[in-house]
Structure 1
Amino acid sequence: MRIGELAAETGLTRDTIRFYEKVGLLASRRTANGYRDFPAEAVAWLHYVRTAQTLGFSLAEIALNGEELRGATDTALALTALFEEKIRVVDARMAELAALRAELAARVGTGCPLVAAGRPG
């Protein structure tokens, strides 16, 4: 399928598809006249990529995980492991943000960004 067809099927722009190809997330072959020709399974793969991005996975993670998933005998089990690991990362980040929020809240009203409320300056 040509890039315009793939763009129409996935709702992505041609530039996005070209970018994904450039960074190695997607492969095409060239026809005799130089047009990109994408396999039919590229549609499902690009839907996966967009969903994974929505779930907070970076393009690097998607590329790595895509390789792991392609080699997995039990895709559901492999996805579960990926999601559980991402949950751990999100939980750790939430804890960091909660600590940052508490530190900022302690400094409210101090008039000085270097001194927290109740602490000697």
Structure 2
Amino acid sequence: MLIGQLAKQTELSRDTIRFYEKMQLIQSITRNNGYKDYPEQTLQQLHLIRTAKNLGFSLNEIKQILALTTQGEIPAIQVQDIFQDKLNMIDEKIEQLMNIKTMLSRFTQGEACPLRTDCPIPDLN
């Protein structure tokens, strides 16, 4: 399938498809005439990429997931582990953001300015 057909079927731009190929998320086969041909499985891979991005996975994380799919169907327990790891990361990020929100709220209510040299800021990491 040519890139134009793939773009139309997936509603992704050609640039996005080329970027995913550059990131080695998908592969193409170069024809004798120089055109790139994408196998049918690329549609499924692009659907997985879109779904994973909507769930908050980074392209590097998606690349690891796609590597698992090349070995066949990912076992359910492994999918659960991937989702749990992502949930744990989200929980950590939420906690960090809540700490930042609390500090900013205190600063807007009259506590010393954090942008001054005499005002220590705790490390949030």
Q: Which TM-score bucket, shorter chain as reference?
A: 0.7 to 0.9
Alignment correspondent of 2:4 = 4
Residue 72 of structure 1, CA deviation? 6.0
Q: Distance in 1 between matches of 2:81 and 2:16?
A: 28
Q: Distance in 1 between matches of 2:59 and 2:37?
A: 22
- Residues 74 and 66 of structure 1: is their aligned pair in 2 closer, same or farther, counting only changes over 3 Å? closer
Corresponding residue SS for 1:71? coil
Alignment correspondent of 1:24 = 24
Which residues of structure 1 form unaligned runs of 5+?
117-121
Instruction: Please tell me whether the aligned partners of residues 68 and 74 of structure 2 are also in contact (alpha carbons under 8 angstroms).
Output: no
Q: How does 1:17-56 map to 2 (within 5 A)?
A: 17-56=17-56
Alignment correspondent of 2:68 = 68
The letter of the residue matching 2:101 is R
Alignment correspondent of 1:103 = 103
Instruction: Please tell me whether the aligned partners of residues 69 and 78 of structure 1 are also in contact (alpha carbons under 8 angstroms).
Output: no
Q: How does 1:73-88 map to 2 (within 5 A)?
A: 74-88=74-88
Residues 39-73 of structure 1 deviation map (CA, whole Å, 9 limit, x = unaligned): 00100110100110111111111001211233366
- Residues 111 and 89 of structure 1: is their aligned pair in 2 closer, same or farther, counting only changes over 3 Å? closer
Across the aligned residues of Structure 1 and Structure 2, the Cα RMSD in angstroms comes to 1.8
Which residues of structure 2 form unaligned runs of 5+?
121-125
The letter of the residue matching 1:34 is G
Regions of 4+ moved over 4 Å: none
Q: Distance in 2 between matches of 1:72 and 1:40?
A: 15
Q: Bigger relative contact order, structure 1 or 2, given CA contacts below 8 A and separation 6+?
A: 2
The letter of the residue matching 1:93 is K
Paired-residue identity, %: 35
Corresponding residue SS for 2:70? helix
- Residues 88 and 72 of structure 1: is their aligned pair in 2 closer, same or farther, counting only changes over 3 Å? farther
Q: Distance in 2 between matches of 1:49 and 1:34?
A: 26
